[in-house]
């Protein structure tokens, strides 16, 4: 089971790019090489072929905005749902 990241015990905890990378790798997503513009990265997963996830990561320590964090959690949730239904 993939644990979603972000809001912990009612407190807003900023999600860093390093945490997002770890969660995406644990879920089986992979980084498309040189596909993002500038410091943007595009992550892909075979269970979600209709869309990728774009992260605006300037460094591993940068914090994600709430909107990007919401997209990340939704992307991880779709992967989790589809992997559970395929087994």
Average pLDDT, stretch 17-45?
88
Rounded Cα–Cα distance for residues 80 and 78 (Å): 5
The pLDDT value recorded for residue 2 is: 55
User: What six digits make up the tokens of 80?
Assistant: 């989790």
**Does residue 20 contact residue 74 with C-beta atoms inside 8 Å?**
no
pTM for this entry: 0.79
Average pLDDT, stretch 28-57?
86
Is the pLDDT higher at 35 or at 33?
33
Q: Which of 23-27, 40-44, 65-69 has the highest mean pLDDT?
A: 23-27
Rounded to the nearest integer, the mean pLDDT of the chain is: 83
The pLDDT value recorded for residue 5 is: 56
């Amino acid at each position: 089971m993939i644990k979603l990241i972000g809001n912990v015990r009612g407190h807003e905890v900023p999600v860093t790019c390093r945490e997002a990378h770890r969660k995406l790798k644990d879920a089986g997503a992979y980084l498309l090489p040189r596909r993002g513009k500038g410091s943007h990265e595009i992550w892909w997963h075979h269970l979600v072929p209709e869309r990728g996830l774009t992260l605006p990561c300037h460094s591993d320590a940068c914090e994600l905005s709430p909107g990007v964090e919401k997209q990340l959690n939704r992307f991880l949730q779709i992967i989790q749902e589809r992997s559970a239904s395929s087994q």
